[in-house]
C-alpha cells in the first residue's frame, strides 16, 4: 500500500479526511473487553450494524442533540479505511487490505435505541453522527495490535485503551466481514469503543485521537473535535415513533447506573462481607456437618430445599443479598417489570462475598436470571446465586463459572410467571426464610442458612465433628465394629482424646 493518500476529488468538506466518500460504514457492536465487562456480557463472535455515509462529518464540526431527547452519547473509535477490495480473505491477509486508520466518533441517541431494535438507523444514522479524521495513518506501517485510542470531553481524558484490549483482533473483523460482502476501496469499519463512553450535552466538546506510540515517528490522527449543540424542532408523531428512554437505557448511555445518578454501585475496593478467617473455616465445613450442628441447637428449617448446584464441585460461601419476585400480574409487571427494576438493582448492587438469594416460590416455569446477570454478579465479586426458580441461558450461565443453585433450566423470561418486586427484604427461598445478612453455605448436598449470631459457634463445632468423624473412619477401616465407636462411647472417647493429645 502506498504511503500517499489518494485525492478526494470531492468538494464536500465532510469527507476531507477520507480518500473517497465511503460506499458503506460498518460498525462493530461490542469489541473491547473493557466495554464488555462494563456491560456485563462478552460476545462469542463480532456483530455489526450499518451507518449511512451521509452521517460522516469532519474535524471541527458540530453535532445536534435533537429537541426532545436527553441521551446523546459519544463513542471514540478507530476507523479502518479499506484500501484494496476484500472478499473472502483470511485473517492472515486481511490487514493488507486496510489502507489507513484514523479517529472516529460513533455518536448515538439512546432515546431511539429501543425503537430501532438493533438497526441503529435513527439512533446512530443522523447527519453528522460519524465524525472522522482529521488525518489518516498508513495502515501498512503499524502493528494492528498496538494502536491506541483516547477520548477527551472538555479536555478531561475519559477513554484510554489499545487494540491489545480487543476481544476480536482487527484482522479478524475484516476477514469476517469479507465472508459476507465485498469491502470496497474507501469503505469504513468502525472498530468499537472501549469503556468510558458516556452522555454529553449541548456546549460540550468531544475529542478523539488514534495514535501508534511505538511505531516509527509515533504516527497520530490528530484530535478529532466535535461540539454538541441543541437541535431545533421536534419529531412529528404522525410520521413515526417518538424518542423514549427508561432507566436501563440511561444506565447504558451514561456507562453505569451510578453515573446516571439513580443507583449507587458497590465500590471496587469495598471490604468483603465475610471475615477472611471465618470464610476459610466455612469453606472447609461440609453442609451436612453444619446442618447437624444447627439441628443440635434447635434449628431444623434452615435448608433451601429443591435446588441443585450447576457446579457440584464448587463450594458456596457468602452473605445473603435478597430479591423477591411476586406472581405475575400484567398491570404489576407493567409498573415494576421494565426499566431499572428490582432484579437489575440487586444484581448491580451485590458485592464481594455476597450471595443473591431469589424468592421465586419454587416456580420453575420461567427463568429468574440469565447469563448477563450472572456475569454482572461475577464482575462484582459475588460469591454465588441461589434461586428456587429456573435459570434461562443455562449453558451460558454455567460457562460463567459462578456458583449457582437452581431448580433447573427454563427458556422463558421472568415476565411469564414473575414480577421483580423488591430487594434486601426477608424472602422465602426453597421453603426457608432468608434474611439479608444471613450466612449461606452450599455444596453438593445442598444449601444451608446460618444466622450470623450462631455462625462462629456452629462452624467450629462442625469442624471439630469432622475431625472426630475422620478418626472414627480410620478405626472402621482398621476393622473395628461401629457399635460403641459411632458415636463414641466413654471408652472410645477416652482413646480418641488420648491420641489427639487432649
Burial (CB < 10 A; 0-12, 13-18, 19+), residue 436, is middle
Q: Which of 105, 101, 168 is nearest to 140 (CA)?
A: 101
Distance CA 274, CA 353 (A): 6
DSSP lists the bridge partners of residue 431 as none
Q: Residue 124, Cα to own-chain centre: how many angstroms?
A: 23
Burial (CB < 10 A; 0-12, 13-18, 19+), residue 326, is middle
Binding residues: 370-373, 392-393
Max Cα-Cα span within the chain:
103
Binding residues for substrate: 370-373, 392
Residue 242 grid cell: 417518538
Binding residues for Mg(2+): 393
Distance CA 371, CA 352 (A): 19
Question: Taking the alpha carbons of 478, 480, 485, 490 in that order, is the dihedral positive or negative?
Answer: negative
Burial (CB < 10 A; 0-12, 13-18, 19+), residue 354, is buried
CA distances, 403 to each of 119, 313, 444 (Å): 36, 9, 11
CA distances, 407 to each of 53, 336, 390 (Å): 51, 24, 6
Q: Are 440 and 425 contacting, i.e. CB atoms less than 8 angstroms apart?
A: no
Residue 308 grid cell: 441443585
Q: Within 10 A of 241 (CB to CB), how many other CB atoms are there?
A: 12
Angle at which helices 490-499 and 455-477 cross, to 10°: 100
Q: Within 10 A of 107 (CB to CB), how many other CB atoms are there?
A: 26
Distance CA 178, CA 89 (A): 6
Amino acid at each position: 500500500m502506498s504511503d500517499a493518500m489518494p485525492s478526494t476529488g470531492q468538494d464536500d468538506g465532510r469527507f476531507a479526511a477520507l480518500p473517497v466518500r465511503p460506499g458503506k460504514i460498518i460498525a462493530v457492536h461490542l469489541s473491547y473487553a473493557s466495554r464488555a465487562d462494563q456491560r456485563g456480557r462478552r460476545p462469542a463472535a463480532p456483530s455489526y450494524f450499518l451507518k449511512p455515509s451521509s452521517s460522516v462529518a469532519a474535524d471541527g464540526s458540530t453535532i445536534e442533540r435533537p429537541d426532545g431527547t436527553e441521551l446523546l452519547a459519544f463513542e471514540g473509535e478507530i476507523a479502518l479505511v479499506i484500501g484494496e477490495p476484500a472478499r473472502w480473505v483470511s485473517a492472515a491477509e486481511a490487514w493488507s487490505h486496510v489502507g489507513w486508520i484514523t479517529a472516529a466518533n460513533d455518536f448515538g441517541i439512546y432515546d431511539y435505541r429501543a425503537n430501532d431494535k438493533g438497526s441503529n438507523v435513527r439512533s446512530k444514522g443522523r447527519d453528522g453522527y460519524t465524525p472522522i479524521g482529521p488525518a489518516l495513518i498508513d495502515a501498512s506501517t503499524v502493528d494492528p495490535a498496538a494502536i491506541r485510542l483516547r477520548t477527551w470531553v472538555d479536555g478531561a481524558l475519559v477513554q484510554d485503551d489499545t487494540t491489545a484490549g480487543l476481544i476480536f483482533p482487527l484482522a479478524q473483523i475484516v476477514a469476517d466481514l469479507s465472508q459476507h460482502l465485498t469491502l470496497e476501496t474507501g469503505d469504513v469499519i468502525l472498530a468499537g469503543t472501549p469503556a468510558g463512553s458516556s452522555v454529553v450535552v449541548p456546549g460540550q466538546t468531544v475529542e478523539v485521537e488514534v495514535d501508534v506510540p511505538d511505531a516509527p515517528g509515533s504516527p497520530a490522527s490528530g484530535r478529532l473535535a466535535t461540539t454538541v449543540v441543541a437541535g431545533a424542532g421536534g419529531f412529528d408523531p404522525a410520521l413515526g415513533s417518538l424518542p423514549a428512554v427508561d432507566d436501563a437505557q440511561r444506565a447504558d448511555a451514561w456507562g453505569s447506573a451510578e453515573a446516571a445518578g439513580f443507583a449507587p454501585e458497590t465500590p471496587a475496593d469495598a471490604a468483603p462481607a465475610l471475615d477472611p478467617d471465618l470464610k476459610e473455616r466455612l469453606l472447609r465445613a461440609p453442609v451436612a456437618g453444619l446442618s447437624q450442628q444447627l439441628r443440635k441447637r434447635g434449628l431444623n428449617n434452615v435448608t433451601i430445599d429443591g435446588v441443585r448446584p450447576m457446579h457440584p464441585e464448587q463450594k458456596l460461601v457468602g452473605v445473603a443479598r435478597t430479591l423477591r419476585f411476586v406472581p405475575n400480574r400484567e398491570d404489576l409487571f407493567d409498573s415494576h417489570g421494565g426499566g431499572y427494576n428490582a432484579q437489575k438493582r440487586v444484581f448491580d448492587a451485590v458485592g464481594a462475598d455476597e450471595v443473591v438469594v431469589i424468592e421465586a416460590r419454587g416456580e420453575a416455569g420461567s427463568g429468574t436470571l440469565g447469563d448477563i446477570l450472572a456475569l454482572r454478579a461475577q464482575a462484582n465479586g459475588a460469591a454465588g446465586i441461589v434461586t428456587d426458580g429456573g435459570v434461562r441461558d443455562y449453558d451460558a450461565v454455567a460457562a460463567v463459572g459462578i456458583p449457582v443453585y437452581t431448580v433447573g433450566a427454563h427458556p422463558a423470561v421472568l415476565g411469564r410467571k414473575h414480577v421483580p418486586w423488591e430487594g434486601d427484604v426477608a424472602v422465602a427461598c426453597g421453603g426457608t426464610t432468608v434474611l439479608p445478612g444471613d450466612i449461606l453455605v452450599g455444596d453438593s448436598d445442598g444449601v444451608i442458612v446460618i444466622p450470623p449470631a450462631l455462625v462462629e459457634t456452629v462452624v467450629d463445632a462442625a469442624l471439630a465433628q469432622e475431625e472426630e468423624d475422620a478418626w472414627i473412619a480410620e478405626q472402621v477401616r482398621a476393622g473395628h465394629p461401629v457399635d460403641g465407636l459411632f458415636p463414641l462411647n466413654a471408652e472410645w472417647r477416652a482413646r480418641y482424646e488420648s491420641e489427639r493429645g487432649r
